[in-house]
Amino acid sequence: MLTDTQISQFTNAGYLLLPDMVSDEERKALIERAYDIIEEDHLEQAGLFSTTDRSQIDNSYFLGSAETIRCFFEEKAFGDNGELLQPRSQSINKIGHALHDLDPVFRQFAQRRDFGTIAKDLGLSHPSLYQTMVIFKQPRIGGEVTWHQDATFFFTDPTSVITYWFALEDATLENGCLWLEPGGHHGPLRERYFCEQGELRMEPLSDLPWTRDSGNPIPVKAGSLLVFHGHLPHYSAPNQSNKSRIALTFHVVDAACHYAPENWLQRPNLGEFAM
Ligand code: FE2
């Protein structure tokens, strides 16, 4: 499916932009379903999610989301007395992490054969979908996602994770589009996220600083797909606009590579979701 030019763009720059990959009908169905899940979820049990302060994350709620579907609140969703400052549909940071296994609408979308073909064209012999997230980047309170590489969280030997980032709505500079560092995937993995005996910790692997100045914003139209390498540094700014920036992400690893038992996300009961 991918052309030689597209494959070399991925090899050289670490990412590839594929416009018009999600139809309006699919986007509408996925967004509607995501909002329905928010209403179904028992939000009093929902945890908080923050990349700027991971100490705030409730470990057991987070770890328990690996094989189910859970909602996470935005850090800035609450007032001083713990009350929501906006409707709950506009208070959720993300939904994760097994939508592709357990939700019929997301499952049907994830089973599109062309998604597996893309992964194979990019060198994964047995592409396996490990994680899905709907990331809302809510108006005004949608938080920053600090510079990171996704292989930090999906450590395989050798590195294999590829991220699929679907824009379900337009992503702009104002509402917090992705920033990528072209070619940055040629560098080392800087950090690794460990889960051992239920304890989560980030361990530095390299002194190489995040090269913020060489990052480029990548505004994309709704329906676009960005695929990027597990070592590619990426970031997104807080949403300062009045529009959400809903994205759907897949994290795809090669089942032929060794998947680290210390990764936080394990799927002993769900197994491989072959693409
Ligand atoms: Fe990421």
185: left (phi over 0), alpha (psi -120 to 50) or beta: alpha
CA of 106 to the centre of ligand 1 (A): 20
Structure-model confidence comparison of residues 267 and 51, the more confident one? 267
- Answer whether residue 207 shows pLDDT above 60: yes
pLDDT range class, residue 93, cuts 50, 70, 90:
very high
List pLDDT tens digits, range 117-153: 999 999 999 999 999 999 999 999 999 999 999 999 9
Quote the pLDDT of residue 59. 85
pLDDT range class, residue 46, cuts 50, 70, 90:
low
Q: What is the mean pLDDT of the chain?
A: 94
Quote the pLDDT of residue 49. 75
CA of 273 to the centre of ligand 1 (A): 20
CA of 135 to the centre of ligand 1 (A): 11
List pLDDT tens digits, range 60-82: 889 999 999 999 999 899 998 88
Report the percent of the chain where pLDDT is more than 70.
96
Quote the pLDDT of residue 214. 81
Alpha-carbon span 97 to 130, nearest angstrom: 8
CA of 13 to the centre of ligand 1 (A): 16
List pLDDT tens digits, range 219-253: 999 999 999 999 999 999 999 999 999 999 999 99
Mean pLDDT across 12-39: 97
- Answer whether residue 43 shows pLDDT above 70: no
Alpha-carbon span 194 to 179, nearest angstrom: 25
CA of 256 to the centre of ligand 1 (A): 22
Domains parsed from the chain with CATH numbers: 4-259 (2.60.120.620)
CA of 122 to the centre of ligand 1 (A): 18
Quote the pLDDT of residue 58. 78
The dihedrals phi and psi of 154, each to the nearest 5 degrees, come to: -125, 75
Quote the pLDDT of residue 261. 97
CA of 182 to the centre of ligand 1 (A): 15
CA of 149 to the centre of ligand 1 (A): 6
CA of 120 to the centre of ligand 1 (A): 21
Task: Give me the numbers of helices (H) and strands (E) for the chain, helices first please.
Answer: 6, 16
User: Which residues surround the ion ligand 1 when the cut-off is CB under 5 Å?
Assistant: 150
Alpha-carbon span 257 to 124, nearest angstrom: 9
Dmax (CA) for the chain in angstroms is 56
Cβ atoms of residues 24 and 223 within 8 Å = yes
Cβ atoms of residues 54 and 202 within 8 Å = yes
pLDDT range class, residue 44, cuts 50, 70, 90:
low
Sheet holding 15-18, edge to edge: 15-18, 225-229, 162-167, 247-254, 127-135, 92-97, 69-74, 47-49
Q: By C-alpha distance, which of 269, 252, 272 is closest to 124?
A: 252
Quote the pLDDT of residue 81. 87
CA of 33 to the centre of ligand 1 (A): 23
List pLDDT tens digits, range 212-226: 778 999 999 999 999
CA of 81 to the centre of ligand 1 (A): 31
CA of 193 to the centre of ligand 1 (A): 13
CA of 242 to the centre of ligand 1 (A): 23
pTM for this structure?
0.95
Report the percent of the chain where pLDDT is more than 90.
85
pLDDT range class, residue 5, cuts 50, 70, 90:
very high
Mean pLDDT across 88-100: 95
